[in-house]
Amino acid sequence: MAVFTGVLTLPLLAILVSMGQESVEWNHLAETVLGRYLTNTLVLVLGVSLLVLLMGVLPAWLVTTCEFRGRRILSWALILPLAIPTYIAAFVFYQGPEAAIPLLIQVRQRFGVDAFLLTEQVIRYGLLILMLAAVLYPYVYLACCSAFARQSRAVIEAARCLGDSPTRAFVRAALPMARPGIVAGVALVIMEVINDYGAVHFFGVPTLTEGVFRTWFGMGDKIAALRLAGIMMLVVAVLLALEQGLRGRARYVEADAGGIPLRRVPLAGAKATLAFLLCVVPVALGFLYPVVRLSHWAGLYFLSDAGGSFFPGGAALGRGFGLALVTAVVVTAMAALFIYAVRLRESRLRRFFGRVAGMGYATPGAVIAVGVLVVFGTLDRVAPPFLPLVSGTLFVIGFAYMLRFFAIPLQLSRAGLERIGKPLEEASRLLGHPPLRTFLQVDLPLLRAPLAAAGMLLFVDILKELPLTLILRPANFETLATTAYSLASEARLHACAVPALLIVAVGAVGLLVMNHWLQTSPTSSKHE
């Protein structure tokens, strides 16, 4: 277990070690663009965080505590924007600034060039923030739904008895109790914003992640890129520490802890219409609009002359699916065995190994990619001549995917084992069965649902991953994500829509399967 955890952390340690080496371009970067990278990253983080709170918290409260026409469908539809990768949404939303050209012309004619540039920048940044929030708010929505569903009706009724209106009771009682879930959801959104490359590159907003790409591949300065990656790790570490501080150690009253579950309040008339609109707007922005626009582009492509002779992403479809499927199966199996080993002999050290092994999910893909390049590049240099080179192979990218997404099957496997409990395992051990046989014959059949959900989510995330894949893919190896990005970069938006829709379709199916498992499986009895 210690060896496995150490191997997973090698790329991150390699970045920290390499930061001390001499860099030719670092002083120039620090004096010119580093401040801009940091400022843009923080602006996006703050703007998207505020917007996802508006788009995620209120719909979660409405679908959890109110009854209105369309509520059941919307409770499922509100998670669908997660099926839209940010770089695909960027292809669609980037058409927005073109609609503002008449306004920009008027601003330039009346107020001058400086006002024109400022207005254009505000529109571009604002649209990017709106787009990122529209596809990432489900992280907050799902966390809030779980938190609100576990709250006790007695707490809300006590607030009402003290004279609070429903709105005031929501603000003073429900929101503070849901704070840990809200903070966790926003933290996931922030990680995704920092990790994004395709959308910020498409909108021309340089961030730390794009800085890594520019420095490594544009300027050829590996050490400067590693230092930027180290700064990203520091930013993520500060945010995670802030999240833990905000969540604290407080425990909250829940329905399954002896309280009375919340009862949905029927809404009618104007209130029902308003609730419906508040829930449908995020879905329309984050899912319906991109899908309709992509479908229109794909239809135009297939009606064109090129559509009859060339299927964009055809080769990438098989390669990308194969790589994602094999990696998802292997990583899910390894995560199940890992968490079972932790469970067999629980200790602080083993729990620490479990937390460290899942650390990659909080690390941007570009950071992991450059760390993996350093590790395997070093191995190739010190390996004996008769051994084959490892860098530039599918093994490297598969290892990077495992480091990046190991936390997904790890957490779902842990949750599944906690629901099973230990009585069945103890009975098997009393019958003389060894731990491995107990796991295979007792635990594994009961873990089929969470492991299947973990594998599906892992498959979808690997299929969507862009920054890591762009850096580590072997020569002439394309996935659906890289194909869609390349076609969009060449302004071939109609052709780009075909692989983009395939990614969205697979992601939507995976999310619906996962949501079904979450709603039909028993909830944990503990929540912090």
Which of residues 96 and 135 earns the better pLDDT score? 135
We find that the CATH architecture of domain 25-285 is Orthogonal Bundle (1.10)
What is residue 135's predicted lDDT score, i.e. its pLDDT?
Answer: 95
The H or E element that residue 266 is part of is strand 265-266
Most confident of 1-10, 85-94, 424-433: 85-94
Higher pLDDT among residues 103 and 89, named by residue: 89
Highest mean pLDDT among 98-112, 152-166, 383-397: 98-112
Domain ranges of the chain: 25-285, 318-478
* Statement: residue 153 has pLDDT above 70: no
The predicted structure's pLDDT at residue 240: 72
- What is d(CA 342, CA 356) in angstroms, rounded to the nearest whole number? 13
pLDDT grade for 89, boundaries at 50, 70 and 90: very high
CA separation, residue 503 to residues 177, 372, 382, 479 (Å) = 36, 26, 39, 10
Mean pLDDT over 206-217 rounds to 87
| pLDDT for residue 100 | 75
**Which pLDDT belongs to residue 260?**
56
* Least confidently predicted of 80-89, 93-102, 322-331: 93-102
At 162 the three-state DSSP class reads coil
Q: What is the mean pLDDT of residues 125-139?
A: 94
Q: Which amino acid appears at position 504 of this protein?
A: V
Residue 166 pLDDT greater than 80, yes or no: no
Of residues 67 and 423, the one with the higher pLDDT is 67
Phi/psi for 168 (5° steps) reads: -65, -35
Quickly state the pLDDT bin for 146 (edges 50, 70, 90).
confident
DSSP-derived pairing of the beta strands 66-67 and 265-266: parallel
Higher confidence at residue 418 or residue 267?
Answer: 267
156-160, 362-366, 523-527 — most confident range: 362-366
Taking domain 318-478, whether its CATH number is 1.10.3720.10 is answered by yes
pLDDT exceeds cutoff 90 at 47 = yes
Mean pLDDT of 198-223: 86
Residue 79 has pLDDT above 80, yes or no: yes
Instruction: State mean pLDDT over 459-487.
Output: 87
Is the separation of the CB atoms in 24 and 373 below 8 Å? no
More confident of the two residues 387 and 265? 265
pLDDT band with cut points at 50, 70 and 90 for residue 447: confident
For residue 172, pLDDT over 90 is answered with: no
Average pLDDT over residues 311-316: 66
CB-based burial, 128-137: b 16+ in 10 Å, e otherwise: bbbbbbbbbb
If one compares 163 and 220, the residue with the highest pLDDT of the two is: 220
CA atoms within 13 A on the CB side of 399: 23
Q: 418 Cβ partners below 8 Å, 6+ apart?
A: 524
Q: What percent of the chain has pLDDT over 70?
A: 82
> Which pLDDT does position 267 carry in this prediction?
85
- The whole-number pLDDT of residue 164 equals 61
Average pLDDT of the residues in 294-304 = 88
pLDDT value at residue 292:
95
Task: Kindly tell me if the per-residue pLDDT of 255 is higher than 50.
Answer: no
Closest C-alpha to 496, from 505, 487, 504: 487
* 129 pLDDT tier (thresholds 50, 70, 90): very high
pLDDT tens sequence across 326-372? 999 999 888 888 877 777 777 777 777 777 777 777 788 888 888 88
- pLDDT number for residue 524: 41
Whole-angstrom distance, CA of residue 342 vs CA of residue 336: 10
* Per-residue model confidence (pLDDT) at position 215: 87
pLDDT of residue 117: 85
Q: What is the mean pLDDT of the chain?
A: 81
Q: Which of 106-110, 310-314, 484-488 has the lowest mean pLDDT?
A: 310-314
366 close to 195: Cβ distance less than 8 angstroms: yes
For residue 297, what pLDDT is reported? 92
Assign 286 a pLDDT band (cuts: 50, 70, 90): very high
Model pLDDT, residue 163: 63
Q: How confident is the model at residue 528 (pLDDT cuts 50, 70, 90)?
A: very low
| 156-178 average pLDDT score | 68
Residue 74's pLDDT band, with cuts at 50, 70 and 90, is very high
Q: Hey, which residues does 152 pair with through a beta bridge?
A: 261
Compute the distance between CA of residue 472 and CA of residue 372 in angstroms, rounded to an integer: 9
Identical topology for domains 25-285 and 318-478: yes
Average pLDDT rounded to a whole number, residues 402-412? 84
Mean pLDDT is highest, among 42-46, 217-221, 463-467, for 42-46
For residues 497-516, average pLDDT: 85
